[in-house]
Structures are given as C-alpha cells and as structure tokens.
Amino acid sequence: MRVQGVGTMLKGMARLISRVHKLDRGHFLHTGTRTPQSIAGHLDNQAPVESPRAISRTSESDPVKHGEQQEGQHYNIPHQDLKTVFPHGLPPRFLMQVKTFNEACLMVRKPALELLQYLKNTNFAHPAVRYILYGEKGTGKTLSLCHVVHFCAKQDWLILHIPDALRWVKNCRDLLQSTHNKQRLDQPLEASTWLKNFKTSNERFLSQIKVQEKYVWNKRESTEKGSPLGEVVEQGITRVRNATDAVGIVLKELKRQSSSGLFHLLVAVDGVNALWGRTALRREDKSAIAPEELALIHNLRKMVKNDWNGGAVVLTLSQTGSLFKPRTAYLPQELLGKEGFDALDPFIPILVSNYSPKEFESCIQYYLENNWLQHEKAPTEKGRKELLFLSNANPGQLERLCAYL
C-alpha cells in the first residue's frame, strides 16, 4: 500500500525516528559528519550541473582504479566477481537489493578510499599493519570492508575473510570437545561452512601452497608434508568432524608462509570485537563458555596479531557483535574492552561516518533510478529534506526508510 502524502511519511516512520540518536542541534557527536541542517543547506544551494546518472554512478568497475573522482558514486561489481570474491560477506539487506535491482552496486566512500591508498603503499617486508573501521550503527562499515576485499582480490591477494565473527560466539550448534586440545571446543558446522567459502574465493592458491609439515587426522588418514593446502581444505569439507582442526591448519600455514612472496595475504574480519566479548554459548550445566575456549576464536586471535609480514589486517567493529554492550557504544575502546584493545594495539583507526551531502544525493538518485523510491514526493526537494530528517543521513536508516516508499 502506497503512502499518500509527505505528512503520512512522518507518521509511518515513527518507529524508525525513535531509533535516531538525539543529538545537539548543529553537530553529530564524535562523527565529524555534516549535520542534516548543513546537508539541507547543500540541497538548497546545489546547481544541477551533472546528469542524475553521472551523480550516482561511475563506469569504473575496477576498485584498483578508484580515487577521489569516484567518491560518492556507485560502481558495479561484475557478476563473476560477485560469485568468487563474495561467496559470503555481503550484508543480507544488500543482497536483497542485489536481487531486486539485478545488479550489485557499492558506493565508493572516503573511508574505503583512504584504506585503499594505505594498502597500495603496503611494505610487505614489514609486520602487517592493522586497520580498524569503526563508526555508529548503520554507517556502512561492512560495505566499506567489502570494497577493500574486492580491491585486494583484483590485486590477486589471498583473501582470508571472516564475514561475521559474531556467528562463532552465538547460537552455534553441535559444540564438540577438541581432539587437538581437550580444554577447547570445536565448532565443526561453522568451520566446514567457512572452508567451503574460503575455497571458492582462493581456489587458485590452494594447489600452489604446500603444507610444511605432516598432519595426521586419524589412524588411516593423514596429509603428508609437501601436499597442496587444498588437501587440508578438502579434509575439513568432506570430514566435518575435522573441519575445526582444518581451519586451524590453514590459518597456521598461511601465517607461516605469508613472507614467502608466493602470495599477499589479507585478513579481513567483520565484527572483530566479538573475539573478546562474552559469548552467548552455554554448556549443559548452563555455565558460560569463554571466547578463548573456542578453537576457532583461539586461532583467529592469532591471525589478527601483527607478528607476521606479507599482507595486511583489516577489521571492523560491530555493535551487533558486541553482546552485553550499550547500544550506543561504537568507539574502539568501548567495544573491544581493555583486553581486546591491548591485543590489537597499535592499529590505524578509520572512522566511517554518516553520508556527506554528495553521498546522500547520490544514494537518493540511485534509489530513484532503480524505482526503489516510488513515492510522488521523493524526487522533490521537500521530500528529500524529509528523508534526510528522518534518516539523520545514516545509510542504514535511509535504506530502511526508502524500502517503504
């Protein structure tokens, strides 16, 4: 059912308005982002110099070539890249848009461009630099991380992508005692799923990289020294009981061989603060399970250290992944806690803010082009200002608002 007027838009979005942060007039707290008032002023003063499509899109689909001239524009992820680079990692609501629009378009944003520039200048002889994308909920941290993953894939990096670390500490099924270390717990289903996606993204590397020691799985099966790493991956996929150990071996071998020059390694973890928060998992006696008791978490903590070279570590902080933390928390020290902050220090923080005026205009135009915004008032200046007011220029809030219109 369509909304009949701008006033009705306000009433229909009452629940969403309640989620918008109450901020002092004229500025956001800690974001460095322009306020709705300043963006509204921009809408008043802008001149229609460019065509709408030129505002919202760029024809440059290779993230390696992205720069300031593409900032605020959407680029199309080729279909083949969507299958191989992103077998996992893209947010569910973004995937809904991909299905609806029959295209996968990411906005080129300043935080991602800043990070791409750092990665282009990486000195692979030095210890891996850690970068942390942080910001308020819904600002686009995960999609900025996906932009970086796409860039590294096009540069022929090996991609070690953990799309949602929260999944490894919440609602896991079939926890088993580890055969490698009795003090830890295996998560075979989560490990097997991750191995399948890892294989899809990096299959070309799995025959080139050779394991540097022998691994015994049981009395009858083993992987000999010098065998392709792909054999370890296949062991974890076909023998689910061994999947957690297979993940640990893959991570160990990649970290050990990253300085060989055979490949550059990107470790990308979305919601890394889940590695040090409390879990939602319980034993049969209802006692809590600590993150370090999970073999997957134990091994992943090793990968985000900077005691290896030949690549980079790109992480995001997630309010969703911060169980038992205040909903308004978003700063690194708030979400990581002392233990996590100390474990990742030093790192380079990169703030992902709400939309700038250019980005807001580009997003609205992109939705109009794809008929995602069909309300009669949406293309008007008054309609855009109302959407700006309701969303507070927050990308996530804006997407949800426009889904109703």
As given in the structure block, the two tokens for residue 167 are 């999944």
Angle in degrees, CA 160, 165, 166, rounded to 5: 165
| The one-letter amino acid at 167 | R
Query: Is 146's pLDDT higher than 80?
Result: yes
Q: SS3 for 129? A: strand
Would you state the pLDDT for residue 44? 54
> What is the rounded average pLDDT for all residues in the chain?
88
What confidence category does residue 51 fall into, taking pLDDT thresholds of 50, 70 and 90? low
As given in the structure block, the two tokens for residue 305 are 């250290």
DSSP conformation class of 209: -
Distance CA 208, CA 245 (A): 21
pLDDT (tens digit per residue) in 294-334: 999 999 999 999 999 999 999 999 987 566 788 889 999 99
The residue-averaged pLDDT of 203-218 equals 96
pLDDT (tens digit per residue) in 112-123: 999 999 999 999
pLDDT (tens digit per residue) in 166-181: 989 987 878 999 888 8
Contact 166, 318 (CB under 8 A): yes
DSSP string across 135-147: -STTSSHHHHHHH
Would you state the pLDDT for residue 10? 44
Q: CA torsion sign, 375 to 6 to 9 to 362? A: positive
DSSP string across 54-80: HHHB-S---GGG--GGGTT-EEEPPHH
* pTM score, whole prediction: 0.86
Q: Which residues pair with 216 in a beta bridge?
A: 222
What confidence category does residue 27 fall into, taking pLDDT thresholds of 50, 70 and 90? very low
Backbone angles phi, psi at 61, to 5 degrees: -95, -5
In terms of pLDDT, which residue wins out, 3 or 298? 298
DSSP conformation class of 290: P
Q: Which residues pair with 331 in a beta bridge?
A: none
Distance CA 252, CA 328 (A): 36
Residue 53, Cβ neighbours under 10 Å: how many? 11
Q: Which residues pair with 278 in a beta bridge?
A: none
Distance CA 319, CA 328 (A): 8
What confidence category does residue 14 fall into, taking pLDDT thresholds of 50, 70 and 90? very low
CA distances from 66 to 58, 183, 262, 270 (A): 10, 47, 26, 22
Would you state the pLDDT for residue 250? 98
pLDDT (tens digit per residue) in 238-295: 999 999 999 999 999 999 999 998 999 999 999 999 999 888 888 888 888 999 999 9
